[in-house]
């Protein structure tokens, strides 16, 4: 495997609860839950201005929720826009 062009650091990650027990939650609700979980896990807290980039993992939102290209939408919900 090749080397990255520059060093990076992952300081936090979050995940929302999902599945049959949460049928009323929509993608934006799940994203905000994951963001709050990630913020909670960072030792000294984190503010949107401290985030350089955001990566959204998703499977078939366009098929099930008729909403594709979630990254910009989700970043906007928690104040990360405009970020890559």
Residue pLDDT, tens place only, 12-28: 788 888 777 666 787 78
DSSP category for residue 13: -
pTM assigned to the model: 0.67
- From the number of C-beta atoms within 10 Å of its C-beta (0-12, 13-18, 19+), residue 40 rates as exposed
Q: Where are the alpha helices (DSSP H) in the chain?
A: 27-41, 61-64, 70-77
pLDDT tens digit sequence for 13-66: 888 887 776 667 877 888 888 888 888 888 777 787 888 877 777 777 778 777
pLDDT for position 41: 82
The domain spans of the chain are 27-77
Print burial letters for 45-72: b (CB count within 10 Å at least 16), e (below 16).
ebeeeebeebeeebeebeeeeeeeebbe
């Amino acid at each position: 495997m090749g080397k990255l062009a520059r060093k990076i650091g992952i300081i936090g990650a979050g995940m929302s609860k999902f599945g049959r027990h949460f049928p009323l939650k929509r993608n934006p609700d799940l994203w905000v839950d994951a963001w709050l979980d990630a913020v909670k896990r960072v030792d000294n807290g984190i503010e949107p201005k401290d985030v350089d980039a955001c990566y959204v993992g998703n499977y078939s939102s366009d098929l099930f929720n008729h909403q594709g290209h979630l990254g910009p939408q989700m970043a906007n919900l928690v104040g990360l826009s405009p970020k890559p």
